[in-house]
Amino acid sequence: MAAFGENIGMYEASFSRLPSQSNVYGLSVLSMPTWEGSKLLVASLSGGKMFCLEYQRLQGVVRLVSREIHFAYIPGDADIVSIDSFNREGTQPGTLGGLVIGITFIKDPSNTPAQYLNIYSAAVESGLEYSLDTIAQSCMCNIELQFIPFQLTHTRLCEEDGGDTVFLLGGNDQKIHLFRQDRETNQFMEENITDCFPEFDNLPGNAVWMDTQRVGGHKRITAFGCEDGHVNVAIVNESSKEIQCMGGVQHDGPITSVRIYRSKLDTPCPAVLGNKAPALPVHTTQEGEYHLVVTSVLELAVVYREVMLGGLTRQAILPESNLYDSALCCCVGDVDWDGQNEVIIGTYGQELLVYKYCEGSSRGRHKSNSSVASEKSASLESDFTLLWRRSFAHPILALAYLDMTRDGLWELVVISTKGCHILQHSLEEAAGKITERLETLALQGTTVNGSK
């Protein structure tokens, strides 16, 4: 957008300090029902403290409120490693049944360390499925782990496997572990990962970060990055458990994060507009839309484009991403409001970098197949451009782009070693864009009525 100029007009709306540093696995976005608004759960590394951050409206004024949540059965000397949460399916298919929060921690880290995974959830249909304080007191299970836990994440299994959402936990035993809730006992149990995820069999190293994405046609993209620099991506048929293709590359130095994303994002037209809105082109998910961001400790962050078509062959670098110490985290969001997702990188060198994909070079590549090699080398330099960068006072550990303020405009959440920064877009610019769009809508609305 031309209006943005050199800066995409985001400023720090709020900053919430944490008593001790968090880590790269320390942020979880709580998927609350719509009326609750978005909340964040941030882990503070030492002391086992967890904080819930949300915007609250008091006397007409919105404020970022940070509240400590006391989770039961986490000792005071514990170091939190990773947290994750998901919204489980309700008793009726298609309904939501409440939050499930998983926390991995190391108990007594200095003397006799022991690792645990605690899973919290309120009783089904108790009416308190989203009350954090209730959830925090109802520990469903406390699983002792025989390995050092890494990233805790979740994914939904396909219908053939029951359609449950399961926790996936990486460990230092070169394995990824799957925890699934038993339907009868309601307890989470570890299950054999290869039954559902054959791509996680026989890992080349300790997976520090993984991401899965379900694609239409019973397909699943799985990507993971290892401590030794190995990045693997696999396309799996969910129902037949057949690995359709799998490829890996070796980076120099440990991988810090991987993320599968789509170039566009689907924004459904609000129901209230009905036929007033121009009909959206019927969106078909194309396999060429999926890309993979990889950040690593030593090297430039890269994007592997079109992973479903070409695996890990179409590498595009994110220029200057190695200049600010290690890139630790990444997130994806349409921060310039053009319908295309941008890649956002957070570095230990206290910089936030936003990259935009340039259409021009990719078009050129499709035009002339003969000069693929030369085009590709050129595209290495020009596919992504640094759209915006902002310095922070502290190293950046985690990022998220979501609507915290419940106004339709998303905020960028940046977790630094000192706390949680919320970056808000320039509201005047957003108001301008909305006025423009509403003008068009109103115009279309009147012409439609006139023709009737």
Partner 1 sequence: MRYVSFVEHLQLEFSGNLMPQAMVLGDVDNDQDNELVAGNVNGQLMVFKGTDTTPWRMASGLGMTSCAAVGDVCNTGKNVIMTLSAEGWCHVFSVSPNEKQNKDDEKDKEATVAQAKGGPEEMTPVYQQLLAANGQAIVIADIDKDGKNEIVIGYTDRVVRAYSWVESTSATTGQDVLSGKFVLLQTWELVGQVGSIVVTTGVDGQTELLASQPGCTYTTLLMKDTGKGEGGDKENNEDEEEEEERQQASGETVIFHPLVSSRARNPDVSTEIIGNLATGPSDDAGDCPGRGLYAMCTLDGTLMLGQGEEIVWSLQVDHHLFSLTKLDVTMDGKDEIVACGWDGQTYIMDHLRNMVRFQFDQPVNAFCAGLYAVAPGKNVPCLVYATFHNNITLHFNTTLPCLLPTTLTDVLADKERVTQLLQKLNLQDADSGTLQQLYHWCIYGQP
Q: Which residues bind partner 1 (CB under 8 A)?
A: 11-17, 34-35, 55, 61-64, 265, 267-273, 276-278, 280, 334, 337-339, 350, 390-394, 403, 405-410, 418-419, 421, 426-428, 430-431, 433-435, 437-442, 445-446
SS3 108: coil
- Based on CB atoms, which residue is closest to partner 1, 156 or 262? 262
In the complex, least distance from residue 60 CB atom to partner 1, rounded to whole angstroms: 8
In the complex, least distance from residue 350 CB atom to partner 1, rounded to whole angstroms: 8
Please state, in angstroms and rounded to a whole number, the distance separating the CA atoms of residues 19 and 433: 39
Please state, in angstroms and rounded to a whole number, the distance separating the CA atoms of residues 439 and 236: 46
8 A C-beta contact, residue 416 and residue 434: no
- Based on CB atoms, which residue is closest to partner 1, 220 or 356? 356
In the complex, least distance from residue 381 CB atom to partner 1, rounded to whole angstroms: 28
Please state, in angstroms and rounded to a whole number, the distance separating the CA atoms of residues 217 and 240: 12
In the complex, least distance from residue 242 CB atom to partner 1, rounded to whole angstroms: 36
- Based on CB atoms, which residue is closest to partner 1, 271 or 373? 271
| One-character DSSP codes across 192-233 | -HHHH-GGGSS-SS-EEEEEEEEETTTEEEEEEEETTSEEEE
In the complex, least distance from residue 299 CB atom to partner 1, rounded to whole angstroms: 26
SS3 268: coil
User: How big is the CA angle at 403 (ends 400 and 409), to the nearest 5 degrees?
Assistant: 115
- Based on CB atoms, which residue is closest to partner 1, 189 or 448? 448
Residues 6+ apart with CB under 8 A from 329: 24, 256, 257, 295, 345, 346, 396, 397, 398, 399
SS3 73: coil
- Nearest one of 308, 312, 305, 310 to 341, comparing CA atoms: 305
Please state, in angstroms and rounded to a whole number, the distance separating the CA atoms of residues 371 and 359: 18
8 A C-beta contact, residue 413 and residue 358: no
- Based on CB atoms, which residue is closest to partner 1, 175 or 390? 390
| Direct distance between the N- and C-terminal alpha carbons of the chain, in angstroms, rounded to an integer | 36
In the complex, least distance from residue 306 CB atom to partner 1, rounded to whole angstroms: 21
In the complex, least distance from residue 150 CB atom to partner 1, rounded to whole angstroms: 29
- Based on CB atoms, which residue is closest to partner 1, 138 or 286? 286
In the complex, least distance from residue 379 CB atom to partner 1, rounded to whole angstroms: 24
Residues 6+ apart with CB under 8 A from 184: none
Identify any residues that bridge with 14 across adjacent strands, giving them in sequence order.
Answer: 422
Please state, in angstroms and rounded to a whole number, the distance separating the CA atoms of residues 303 and 262: 12
In the complex, least distance from residue 72 CB atom to partner 1, rounded to whole angstroms: 29
- Based on CB atoms, which residue is closest to partner 1, 144 or 428? 428
Please state, in angstroms and rounded to a whole number, the distance separating the CA atoms of residues 404 and 377: 41
In the complex, least distance from residue 13 CB atom to partner 1, rounded to whole angstroms: 6
